[in-house]
Structure 1
Amino acid sequence: MKTNTNHSQTATHALSPTTRRAIFLLSLATFCSMAVQRICDPMLPELSRIFGTPISEASRAISFFAIAYGLMQLFYGPVGDRFGKYRVVMLATIGCSVGSLLSALSADLTFLIAARIGTALAAAAIIPLSLAWVGDAVHYEQRQETLARVGLGTMLGITAGQLFGGLLTDTLGWRWAFVLMSAAFATVSFLLWQQLKHLKQATPHAHAPIGFFQQLKEVAHNPWARTFLSLALIEGATVFGVLAVTAAHLHQVHHISLTLAGGTTALFGLGGMAYMATAKITIRRFGEVGLARNGGISFGAAFVVIAFSPWWQLALPSCFVAGFGFAMFHNTMQAKATQLLPKARGTGVTLFAGFMFLGQSLGVLVLAELFNHYNSQSILGADAMVVCALGLFLSRAIAKRNATQADQA
């Protein structure tokens, strides 16, 4: 078939320079998107002090961002399938630039939360539609490795958001972190706009999109899709939820500065980068089942150390290991998400992202509230155990699904 021919020509070694540059620019966009999500994490104690509110209220700058981000997935999936995923990503970066600037100009917590929600409304398009675009352009056999390259921007974004969020808050002030993000988004939007005209002939044709409600019906009647989206919800609540409060845990328990706490949690992103750099070898060594299992266990074990170690220095290698484990697990989830609805890939991936970030919003709200009633060690430790179980469950689910598909072949 023609579609199969197009896909086979997009293996990693055969990607054209235009497509490679497009993937690089999408990595920059995902970098900015993740950085703006995580940039408030180390700010929470300072925002709480500046605006005179408890951390649970200041955390709404994170949790409300995630809620808006998740809800918008149902909008951007069909829009990306209809009007072009790359074009929508470019427009979204412009919106994020404006939203970040408004965040920097916030006079009170309410305005900051509103500006963050506005930023999220635009940012919601960037990562899922970037992944969906890769799904259209690259054959599945090479897709996980290519997604890892795009994911490098995501991991760098986690690192930059955590690091510069704490550094600028401690030095120039928290507003300058948002000024930096506004400038970064503006630059990336210009580069994406320049590249867009070259992709009209370079991007392979995806499947003709099916109706949106038909897509949802397919998902609702598919046991694997229901299971997968449930796992995405739990992943968002446990992994991203605990990441949002890790800097606050280190700051409060070990009495280190926000810069040091943010820099320590930034090693999570560096661990993810290490996975991306070795993805080709790691994917071939472990396969999807091994990546899911070992990734969940590595993340959980690392956060047990972060939670209960009396020495904050052990959080340095632990955050790195947690990031590596998360990237193993999440990269596998991303690859599976691109096959959730092959005939409407944008919607399939954005459904995955929507459930994941809905879970994140719930996780941040719940964990921040638990901080007011329980010690952070117990909270992080319990969360770590859940992630271990999640990795084991996903690995078994993938193995069972692969065996079923092999029997049907």
Structure 2
Amino acid sequence: MATQDSRAASAASASPAPGSPPLKAAWSAVFALTLGVFSLVMAEFLPASLLTPMADSLAISEGQAGQAVTATAILAMLTGLLVTAVTQRLDRRHVLLGFSVLMIAANLLVAFAPNLIWLLAGRVLLGIALGGFWALSAATVMRLVPEHDVPRALSLIFTGVPIATISAAALGSYLGDLFGWRNVFLLTTALSVVTLLFQAATLPKMTPERPTPLSTLVKVVQRPGIGVGILAIVLVFCGHFAFFTYVRPFLETVSGMGINGISSTLLAFGVANFVGTLVAGYLLERSLRLTLLSMPLMMGVMGWLLSSLGGIAVGSDALMVALWGFAFGAVPVAWSTWITRVVPDEAESGGGLIVASIQLAIALGAAIGGVVFGVGGVLGVCATAGTLLLAGAALVMVGVRTRAPSSMDACAGAADGH
């Protein structure tokens, strides 16, 4: 644990004055946030790989067990919208540590759940921690590193997502077979404890800069270009999750892959996604607008190519899925950077809007994909996902601002997004 003096020094270097960017990057605190992302996303997606044993153990159907994921998503969306208003007078260090404590409690509740009610209670707590953490992440990064390091810091934080997703799918099912699903959640609890200790040792004090009542969300949406940006976010993430929800049926029925081929392709997707997340920091330092535009454009083109050329060659299908993963790796980083540029004075409220928009897009993407799959099959899903993504790219090109209005630049120091 850091001493009181070293923590005070860290706080002074990370947040010299409310509303001012730090003079020196607090990279240890950024790594602590990255570990938080990994722990939260790992816990979020574990039920997907442990669904059958969880259902059998609790004497419920797999459909009921699947509601564990739904409960988390709904609470994450609501918390993303409400967290800045509810915690407006609290030190951000204490709020973030509180979310890690909630994550520990959530995993323990699931690990010892005797029935569906306790399982859902644990997932509700996780949803609160997940939505709150994501809503505050971009604004927190702005207070931990100088402005020019924000894209790189955000890309580092988001690397926790693909690593956790792969780990939840691969390690979750493997360790579940060896030790049982409850022990997997206990291991995740141990990881959460390590996360809490690391964050307690590295996160500086971050007093709230100004009150942020719930009405702030409405005011942020009403700013020029914000509503268009939120709509673009919904289109892009909706298109991605419409495709990704049905990527396995595509690989099975169109590409004709067996289980080994499917596993290899999904692993390639995950690795490419990780690389894309890392590369995003460098791309964003050069051009925010180009990154926001090119990534969904690439994914949209891949969607239409998979729809029209899918099944011609297994290798080309796998390559296009991997390219999709690479492009999507940069998308969350780019939009988080966007919100720090266009509303630097209300980055927390803006972050909450992004969290809620993404959670809504996940639900819409899965729903739209399901309807299209029933009508036009998996190739129709690819074409629909491609269309949504191209529409999102078009919105970015014609209507999304990548910097704050000039009147705000003077008071908030917003950076040029070009």
Q: Which interval holds the TM-score relative to the shorter structure?
A: 0.7 to 0.9
- 1:30, distance to aligned residue in structure 2 (A): 1.0
CA distance in 1, matches of 2:183, 2:371: 28
Structure 1 residue 121 and structure 2 residue 128: aligned? yes
Give the TM-score of the pair, scaled to structure 2: 0.77
- Measure, in 2, the Cα distance between the counterparts of 1:62 and 1:189: 23
Within 5 A, what are the aligned runs for 1:225-374? 225-247=226-248, 250=251, 256-257=258-259, 261=262, 264-284=265-285, 287-303=287-303, 308-309=310-311, 316-368=318-370
Instruction: Give the Cα–Cα distance (whole angstroms) in 2 for the partners of residues 347 and 305 of structure 1.
Output: 38
Q: Distance in 1 between matches of 2:250 and 2:182?
A: 23
In structure 1, the residue matched to 2:222 is 221
- CA distance, structure 2, for counterparts of residue 24 and residue 144 of structure 1: 14
Unaligned stretches of 5+ in structure 2?
Answer: 1-15, 411-418
Distance of 2:391 and 2:184 partners within structure 1 = 36
State the distance in 2 between where 1:106 and 1:45 align.
15
Map 1:119-158 onto structure 2 (within 5 A).
Answer: 119-158=126-165
Query: How far apart are 1:79 and its partner, in Å?
Result: 4.3
Deviates more, 1:344-353 or 1:300-309: 300-309
d(CA) in 1 for partners of 2:322, 2:345: 37
Q: What one-letter code is carried by the residue in structure 2 that aligns with 1:209? A: R
Supply the distance in 2 between the matched residues of 1:138 and 1:272 (Cα, whole angstroms).
24
Cα distance, 1:357 vs structure 2: 1.2
Name the counterpart of 1:193.
Answer: 200
8 Å CA contact 1:67, 1:361 repeated in 2: no
Report the identity percentage.
Answer: 17
Q: C-alpha separation between the residues in 1 aligned to 2:128 and 2:404?
A: 40
**Given that residues 34 and 160 in structure 2 are in contact (C-alpha distance below 8 angstroms), is that contact kept between their aligned partners in structure 1?**
yes
Shift of 1:114: 4.3
Out of 16, 32, 35, which is 1:25 matched to? 32
Task: Tell me the equivalent position of 2:381.
Answer: 379
What residue number does 1:85 align with? 92
What is the match of residue 9 of structure 2?
none
Q: Distance in 2 between matches of 1:38 and 1:80?
A: 27
Superposition deviation, residue 168 in structure 1? 4.1
SS at match of 2:105: helix
Say which SS state the counterpart of residue 143 (structure 2) adopts.
helix
| 1:255-313 Cα distance to aligned partner (Å, 9 max, x none) | 744x975664344342232134334543355x122212221122234455666336666
**Shift of the alpha carbon at 1:136?**
2.7
Give the number of equivalent residue pairs: 390
In 1: Cα distance, 2:327 partner to 2:252 partner: 24
CA contact (8 A) 1:148 1:279 kept: yes
C-alpha deviation, 1:329, in angstroms: 2.7
RMSD: 3.8
The answer to whether the 8 Å contact 1:340/1:348 transfers is: no
> 2 CA distance for matches of 1:179 and 1:251?
34
- State the alpha-carbon separation in 1 of the partners of residues 389 and 167 from structure 2: 24
User: In 2, are the aligned partners of 1:305 and 1:315 still within 8 Å (CA)?
Assistant: no
Question: Are the structure 2 counterparts of residues 339 and 370 from structure 1 closer, same or farther at C-alpha, using a change threshold of 3 Å?
Answer: same
Deviation per residue, 1:163-221 (Å, 9 max, x gap)? 3344445665554543332222122112212334xx23xx6x76x32441441341243
Task: Measure, in 1, the Cα distance between the counterparts of 2:89 and 2:132.
Answer: 13
Bigger Rg, structure 1 or 2: 2
Equivalent residue of 2:89, what SS? helix
